[in-house]
Structures are given as C-alpha cells and as structure tokens.
Amino acid sequence: MKTFLSCIAGAAIAFGAISPAVAGDRVARGEERLAKLIDGRTAGEPVSCINTLRSDSPEIIDQVAMVYGHGKTIYVARPAQPRQLDTSDILVINRFSPSQLCVQDQMHTIDRSSGMTTGIVFLTEFVPYTREG
C-alpha cells in the first residue's frame, strides 16, 4: 500500500500536481519536531542497543526518526530508509531480547486498515541525547 501511494505521489510530483516543496514539508516538519526534542541536550556516542525496560514507548517522527525517552536521556534512531516510518502505519518489532531494542531487531510496518505489510525498517545506531542537571 505504501509503495502504491509512493508511486502515486511520485507521479503527482512528476506531473506537477504536487510540488517537491509540498512533498518535502512533511520531512521538514519532522526534522523541526526532532530539533525541539533534542534542544538543550548533548549528543553522546552512538550505541547499537538500548535498555527498554524503563523507557517510554517509542515516539515515531514521520519519515525522520524513532525516539525513545529514558529519564534525562532520549535515544534517537534514524532509519536507513526514512520514508518507511509513518505514524499512519503500525510499527511491529520482533526483538531478540525482551529488555533491549537493538538495530539488528526485525522491524516492519503494517497498514492500519488492511493489515498488510507496508515496509521494512532498518535502524541505524541509537544516539543518546542527555539533558544536564
């Protein structure tokens, strides 16, 4: 479904129905939202796994990143293919460890109405952003 919609959006852009600026607005809004989340925080060394026992549920920023909150530190993971992250889909994560989320874990998205798989998500490393004080 997502592939079909991407084709329609691509055709619309190609034929001038949707300007590239409008198509990029969604990503720009996501980047702006992420910038607000990490404002006042210092980036640390990237890690391949994070402890998820005490963290909040993941926050998906459309076509930009997955964010996990954990006290003073939040973890930001950007997917290899950012278009695969979409809050209109359900993110399914098959973890290898019940207490950790790792970049090697299998993740895919499912369309909320049809239940069909819409994409596969491959995360890069988790970058911790820590607020001082």
pLDDT, residue 20, reads: 55
C-alpha atoms less than 13 angstroms from C-alpha of 113 in its C-beta half-sphere: 3
- Evaluated on CA atoms 92, 96, 98, 103, the torsion sign reads negative
| Per-residue pLDDT tens listing for the chain (133 residues) | 444 444 444 444 444 444 555 547 889 999 999 999 999 999 999 999 998 876 667 889 999 999 998 678 999 999 998 888 888 899 898 988 888 999 999 999 999 999 999 999 999 999 999 998 7
Q: Domain range for residue 120?
A: 2-131
Q: Which pLDDT score, from 0 to 100, does residue 82 have?
A: 87
Per-residue model confidence (pLDDT) at position 35: 96
Name the residue type at position 32. E
- Return the sign of the alpha-carbon dihedral for residues 110, 96, 51, 129: negative
pLDDT of residue 15: 42
pLDDT at res. 23: 45
Tokens standing for residue 51? 């402890």
**C-beta of residue 107 within 8 angstroms of C-beta of residue 121:** yes
Rg (CA), the chain: 16
pLDDT of residue 113: 92
User: How many domains, the chain?
Assistant: 1
